[in-house]
Amino acid sequence: MKPAEKAPGGGRPGKPRAPKCAVCGNPVKQDYRPFCSKRCADIDLGRWLGGGYAIPGQPASSSDTDPDEA
């Protein structure tokens, strides 16, 4: 196969890649997309609610959070 004939993303031509669960990597089930089960969806929700996906940074000062206090 010539380099110009490669499929986008480097995969096999003509065969789409099956989506994987965002938590465990198993194949995605349509009812729970982008997860494979309710369990994995609940794990992800718990991570969001627990701050597991927070972006680290400096704490906001009080003047940044309440513009009416100025």
Whole-number pLDDT of residue 16: 85
Query: Is 58 within a domain?
Result: no
CB burial of 31-44 (b: ≥16 within 10 Å; e: otherwise) equals eeeebbbeebbebb
Whole-number pLDDT of residue 22: 93
Whole-number pLDDT of residue 57: 87
Number of domains in the chain: 1
The domain in which residue 24 lies consists of 18-50
Query: Is 70 within a domain?
Result: no
16-46 tens-digit pLDDT? 888 999 999 999 999 999 999 999 999 999 9
Contacts 24+ apart (CB under 8 A), 45-53: none
Query: Is 11 within a domain?
Result: no
Query: Is 24 within a domain?
Result: yes
Using a cut of 0.85, tell me whether the model's pTM lies above it: no
Query: Is 40 within a domain?
Result: yes
Measured distance CA(33)–CA(31) in Å, rounded = 6
2-19 tens-digit pLDDT? 555 555 555 567 788 889
